[in-house]
Amino acid sequence: MPEVRGIGVATPIGVSVPSFWTGATRGRCAIQRDAGFERAGLRSQVCARVDEDELRASKWWRTAWTEEPRHVQLALVAAAEACEPGLYIDSTPSRRLGLVFSTAMGRVDNLETGATSKLVRGRTHARHAILGDALAREFDISGPVIGISDGCTGGLDAFITACEMIEDGDVDACLTVASDAPLATLTMAAMDNLGVLSRRNDAPELSCLPFDRARQGMVMAEAAGALFLCGGRPASSSTHLSMAVVRGHASVSNCRSMVSLRDAAADMARCARGAMLAAGVSVQGIDHLNLHGSGTRQNDEAEGAALREVFGDHLDRIPAIAIKSLTGHGLAASNTVELVAEVMVLQTGLLPPARGRGSDNPWGVRLVTGEAAHHRAVTGLKMNHGFGGFHSCVILSRP
């Protein structure tokens, strides 16, 4: 079974795993009102950005990355942290080292600026760097390089693809990274017109409230996450110890609508059951849940109904976490950041709290709110859902 040997993040609540985890377990919310979106007259003016000073002060930051697009910068910092111990980067032949990366939108403001320049001046200054190329070059990866771009499950699907490459013997180790920097007027206006964004501009810290009757919608964010996976061969030193074991995974697409989750509960349930079947665990074998928790009514209703269908009465006894209420929704990157959070739950036995009270929850989902909860975490189910009817689940356990 593939094992997680390294993790890294660049998020609005911390640009390193220790900083991110401290922020998450203390319930720190990084969602703020954005003056630029306010000046643009957008109805939704809240978002979550990675702190620029913290990013450039990071021990992994390199001045050579200054001219890279934002999503590439975030990805490189997160990946450098995940690979910091050396792991098998140095000992694995580069042809046996794989890379699976994901981005839903990349850096939209770069595209927006370039398009405007083209229209106004007849030329473009947009720099269309390729995320996978930058990562492969930086970490000397000459094995298989695969890009996944299927929206809000992209990070989890990249992780699953990396696991499959290891399971099939295609590589000995694999770096999986997801990064998005979608905070541009173009993206915000489009998502706001869909009616999915929160408009709680007067109280940004309460903008994303999964499973709460005061919810208004999701909050856009930028972020990056990275995990280094190995095939479970013996570690060569104490710095290479397994952090988590991948027990099983599954993906489902209902292929019905680009934006609607109508009738999705059954597909979400089928995906969760598929992951548990692959892992060889029963509902009693799952002791905590790591939810998509986007803060939209549609997601809450479908995810809650699916969980009740799968777990039945056992759902009443399983605590659940929802990180997006603190970090916002970083699209494909949010999956990978939440996977890093799952590894930390297994490592520390702490469940970070979500904002709100979880007060609109007829399905009985036990969302952790208020303060972090101590929990004997052994095996967790991570689930994500996205536009286009994509659903993916991964089950991780302590080594």
Residue range of the domain that includes 86: 3-240
Kindly state whether residues 260 and 211 are assigned to the same domain. Answer: no
Kindly state whether residues 264 and 340 are assigned to the same domain. Answer: yes
Out of 152, 174, 230, 271, the active site residue is: 152
pTM for this structure?
0.92
pLDDT at 116 over 60: no
pLDDT at 71 over 80: yes
CATH number of residue 356's parent domain: 3.40.47.10
Kindly state whether residues 143 and 52 are assigned to the same domain. Answer: yes
Out of 71, 240, 329, 391, the active site residue is: 329
Please write the tens of the pLDDT for every residue from 221-244. 999 999 999 986 544 444 458 899
Which pLDDT does position 265 carry in this prediction? 86
350 Cβ partners below 8 Å, 6+ apart? 25, 344, 372, 373, 374, 375
Which pLDDT does position 144 carry in this prediction? 94
Which pLDDT does position 262 carry in this prediction? 56
Known catalytic membership, residue 163: no
Last residue of a domain, one of 240, 273, 292: 240
Which pLDDT does position 322 carry in this prediction? 96
Please write the tens of the pLDDT for every residue from 144-179. 999 998 888 999 999 999 999 999 999 999 999 999
Last residue of a domain, one of 240, 269, 290: 240
Known catalytic membership, residue 152: yes
Known catalytic membership, residue 249: no
pLDDT at 316 over 80: yes
Kindly state whether residues 151 and 263 are assigned to the same domain. Answer: no
Q: Which residue has the higher pLDDT, 347 or 94?
A: 347
Out of 292, 385, 391, 393, the active site residue is: 292
Instruction: State how many domains the chain has.
Output: 2
